[in-house]
Structure formats: C-alpha cells, structure tokens
Structure 1
C-alpha cells in the first residue's frame, strides 16, 4: 500500500536515486550528488518540507512532487498567490498506478491551503522557486518536450499548455555565422566588459541564480557611454555528464530600449561566443519565449538552432 507524507531529513539519498532512474530527458542534470540537491533545493530560505511530498511503499520512496511559490512584485519575498508544481517523479516500476495523480492532488491542496489563487505546472522564468541548475539547462522553462511523459501526464489531469519557450543552442566549434558588415562596424566601436562580481539585482535572483557560477557581460561603446546590451552567463557544469561537453547558458539578455533594432543584440551574442570559445566552451544555450519573435530571430541570425521546447501548464478542469 502506498503511503504519502512530507519530506524527512533522511530522504535526500532516495530522492536523488529516484531522480536518476526517472528518465527525464536531455534537460535534466545527472550524476548528481546529495550536495547538489542540498545547495539548490533544501537550503533555499523558503524551502518548506510540506511542499515536498513523497510516496512510500515498503519503506522505499517511489515518487515525489515538489511544489513552491513565485515572488512578489518587488522580487523581495514569496507571493503565496502564485503556486508552482516544479517536479513530479514516479519510479518507472510504479507508474500507471495513480501515484503521480495523487501526488499532484496533494501538491495542489498544499498550494491552495497556503493561499494560491493560481497554480501552474512547470517552473519557468520568475515562477521557478526550484530546479534552477538542475532541470531545463540555462534556467527552468516549464516541462520539456524531450521529457516524454510530462505532456501526456498533465493533459490527462486536465491541464493545458499556456505558454512555451524555445530552447536554442549554438555550436562554438561548428560553422561560423555569416559575416554581416553592419555588425563589423559596430564591433569596431564597441568593447565587451566582463565582471565576476555582478551585484544581484534582487533577492529572488540571488536565491536562485546566485547559487550558480555566473559572469556578467556588457557591450559598451569605446567612447565610454553606458552599456548598449548586457547578459549574464551561467555555468552548466552539472550537465557535463549528460551532454558530454562544456555548455554555458545565457540569461537576462537585455538591449537598451532606445537602441533596439540596431544590431547590438546580435553583436553581444557574437562577442560572448568569441570570448567563451577561448575558454574551451563548446556550446552556448539561450532560452527565448515563443511570443518574443524579435529575440528568436536575433538568435537564429547569429547561428543558434532550436534543440527543445519548454511548456508551462495550467489546470482548466477539476
């Protein structure tokens, strides 16, 4: 008989083993240690054992669900109105027995009891209290299509897709993007500045991306004016065993509003690629919302190609 309970401090080794056995697809880090779960999940200042519900049979954990909350508008604390189901995992030998369905039901009850007025499935963007650095690559972007069981499972529960993210990569060792002369002229006028002491813009960024290795890049005019474009790069070392190569993620990509459409975004992506290639990085990864056509056209123009899609779900029936 399956029993359900909240997280215990002795659970991490079994949770880690379950993570590795679940077949989560290309976007899940593997060969992890308990320390990775400790740093990126359990030691979060807002981690609540009641939000990590496990399914147990004969003393062994056979499934778990991890639920949490998004931030307030100031990004300075949690907002309990925004509930997120971040992960649902059941051991392959115990699937199709209703365990996953019951885990989600209990996670929904937990979120609603805490005050959630909206529940999404799939951590993404700011609504990603957990799994930064563990699932999705550069950042969580919902449940990935390469995670083959996610979509049919949530659809069977009455959830439907409400948003998607294109996941791009660029091979730094492959064919170089075509030369664009207007970008050559920009490059002569600009320089790439790098900082490893980037000040966290807010508490929410610090609790999640602040736990990973990051560098901040700015494309700055040689004449000394403010940056025209910037981005933060995130180390993805936890994915090396899975992908068998060194990949760096780009996030918080920004172009000064008054300067958009002039090539600064493309120049920034190209300059970051050149600099990281010298550090023996083999690929770059970038996540772009499906609705942001301008951004994904910029990415494709400088050699990025789509490798996956992340989907966020929301329940439409009960």
Structure 2
C-alpha cells in the first residue's frame, strides 16, 4: 500500500535516486550530489516540507511532487495566490498505478490550503520557485517536450497547455552567422562591459539565480552614455555530465525601449558569443516565449537554432 506524507529530513538520498531514475530527458541535470538539492531546493528561505509530498512503499520513496508559489509584484515575497507544481516524479517500476495523479491532487490541496487561486504545472520565468539550475537548462521553462511523459500525463489529469517557450542554442564551434555591415558599424561605436559583481535587482532574483555563477554584460556607447542593452549569463556546470560540453545560459536579455529595432540586441548577443568563445565555451542557450516573435527573430538572425520546447499547463477545474 502506498503512503503519502510530507518531506522528512532523511529523504534527500532517496529523492536524488528517484530524480536520476526518472528519465526526465535532455533538460534535467544528472550525476548530481545531495548538495545540489540542498543548495537549490531545501535551503530556499521559503521551502516548506509540506509542499514536497513523498509517496512511500515498504519504507522506500517511489515518487514525489514539489509545489511552491510565485512572487508578489515587487518580487520581495511570495504571492500565495499563485500556485506552481514544479516537479512530479514516479519511479518507472511504480508507474500506471495512479501514484502520480494522487501526488498532484495532494499538491493541489496543499497549494489551495495556502490560498492559491490559480495553479499551473511547470515552473517558468518568474514563476519558478524551484529547479532553477536543475531542470530546463538556462532556466525552468515549463515541462519540456524532450521529457516524454510530461505532456500526456498532465493532459490526462485535467491540465491544458497554455504557454510555450522556445529553447534556442548556438554552437560556438560551428559556422558563424553572416556578417551584417550595419552591425559592424554598431560594434565600432559600442563596447562590451562585463561585471561579476552584479547587484541582484530584488529578493526573488537573489534567492534563485543568485545561487548560481553569473556574469552581467552591458553594451555601452563609447561616448559614455548609459547601456543600451544588457544580459546576464549563467553557468550551467551541473549539466556538463549530461551534455558533455560547456554551455552557458543567457537570461534577462534587455534592450532599452527607445533603442529597439536598431540592431543592438543582435550586436549584444554576437559580442557575448565572441567573448565566451575565448573561454572555451562550446554553446550558448537562450529561452524565448513563443509569443515574443521579435526575440525569436533576433535569435535566428545571430545563429541560434531551436532544440526544444517547454510547455506550461494550467489546471482547468477540479
């Protein structure tokens, strides 16, 4: 008989075994240590043992679900009206017995008991209290299509796909994108500033991305004005055993509103690629909302190609 209970302090070794056994696809870091779970999940200031529900049979963990909440508008605290199911994992030998469905139902009950009015499945963007650095690559972007069981599972238990995120990579060892002369002119007028002392913009950024190695890049006019474009890059060292190469993720890519459509975004991405290529980085990764057609166009224009898709699901009714 399956028992369902809240997280115990003795659970991490078994949860880590479940993570590695689950077959989560290319977007899940593997060969992890318990320390990775400790730093990126259990030591979060808002971690609640009741939000990590474990399925147990004969004293062994056979599955778990991890649920949390999004941030408030100021990104200074949790907003308990926004519930997110971040992970659902069942050992392959115990699937098709209703354990996954029961875990999700119990996670929904937990989220609603805290005040959740809306519940999504698949951490993404700002709505990712957990799994930053562990699932998705650069950042969690829903459940990936390369995670083969996620879509049919959530669709079968009353969730609808509501958002899609395109995951792009660029091979720094492959052919370079064609030279565009208007970008050459921009490059002559700009310089790339790099900082490893980036000041976290808010509490929510610090609790998640602040736990990873980051560098901040700014494209700045040589005439001394403020930055026209910026991005933060994230080290993805936890993925090296899985991907067998060094990949860096780009996030918070931003161009000043009055400077858009002038090529600064493309120029920034090209300059970052040039700089990181010197550091023996083999690939860059960038996640773009499917609705952001401008960013997708920029990615393709500077040599990125789509390798995966993330899907966010919404609970329709229960």
Give the Cα–Cα distance (whole angstroms) in 1 for the partners of residues 257 and 297 of structure 2. 17
| 1:230 aligns to 2:242 (yes or no) | no
Paired position in structure 1 for 2:178? 178
Give the Cα–Cα distance (whole angstroms) in 1 for the partners of residues 20 and 315 of structure 2. 28
Give the Cα–Cα distance (whole angstroms) in 1 for the partners of residues 102 and 314 of structure 2. 17
Paired residues for 1:179-194 under 5 Å: 179-194=179-194
Give the Cα–Cα distance (whole angstroms) in 2 for the partners of residues 259 and 125 of structure 1. 24
Paired position in structure 2 for 1:155? 155
Paired position in structure 2 for 1:271? 271
Instruction: Report Cα offsets for 1:241-296 as digits up to 9, x if no partner.
Output: 00000000000000010000000000000000000000000000000000000000
Give the Cα–Cα distance (whole angstroms) in 2 for the partners of residues 120 and 83 of structure 1. 6
Give the Cα–Cα distance (whole angstroms) in 1 for the partners of residues 127 and 138 of structure 2. 15
Paired position in structure 1 for 2:71? 71
Offset at residue 315 of structure 1 (A): 1.4
3-state SS of the aligned residue for 2:80? strand
Instruction: Report Cα offsets for 1:118-160 as digits up to 9, x if no partner.
Output: 0000000110000000000000000000000000000000101
Paired position in structure 1 for 2:43? 43
Paired residues for 1:1-318 under 5 Å: 1-318=1-318
Give the Cα–Cα distance (whole angstroms) in 1 for the partners of residues 25 and 224 of structure 2. 45
Q: How many residues align?
A: 318
TM-score scaled by structure 2?
1.00
Q: Is the 8 A contact 2:65 2:89 kept in 1?
A: yes
Instruction: Report Cα offsets for 1:225-250 as digits up to 9, x if no partner.
Output: 10010000000000000000000000
Give the Cα–Cα distance (whole angstroms) in 1 for the partners of residues 189 and 290 of structure 2. 32
Give the Cα–Cα distance (whole angstroms) in 1 for the partners of residues 64 and 87 of structure 2. 8
Instruction: Name stretches of at least 5 consecutive residues in structure 2 with no aligned partner.
Output: none
Offset at residue 43 of structure 1 (A): 0.1
Q: Is the 8 A contact 2:118 2:315 kept in 1?
A: no
3-state SS of the aligned residue for 1:5? strand
TM-score scaled by structure 1?
1.00
3-state SS of the aligned residue for 1:274? helix
Q: Is the 8 A contact 2:145 2:310 kept in 1?
A: yes
Instruction: Report Cα offsets for 1:83-133 as digits up to 9, x if no partner.
Output: 000000000000000000000000000000000000000000110000000
Instruction: Name stretches of at least 5 consecutive residues in structure 1 with no aligned partner.
Output: none
Offset at residue 317 of structure 1 (A): 3.1
3-state SS of the aligned residue for 1:253? strand
Give the Cα–Cα distance (whole angstroms) in 2 for the partners of residues 184 and 173 of structure 1. 21
Give the Cα–Cα distance (whole angstroms) in 2 for the partners of residues 4 and 136 of structure 1. 27
Give the Cα–Cα distance (whole angstroms) in 2 for the partners of residues 113 and 59 of structure 1. 28
**Structure 1 stretches of 4+ moved >2 Å:** none
3-state SS of the aligned residue for 2:68? strand
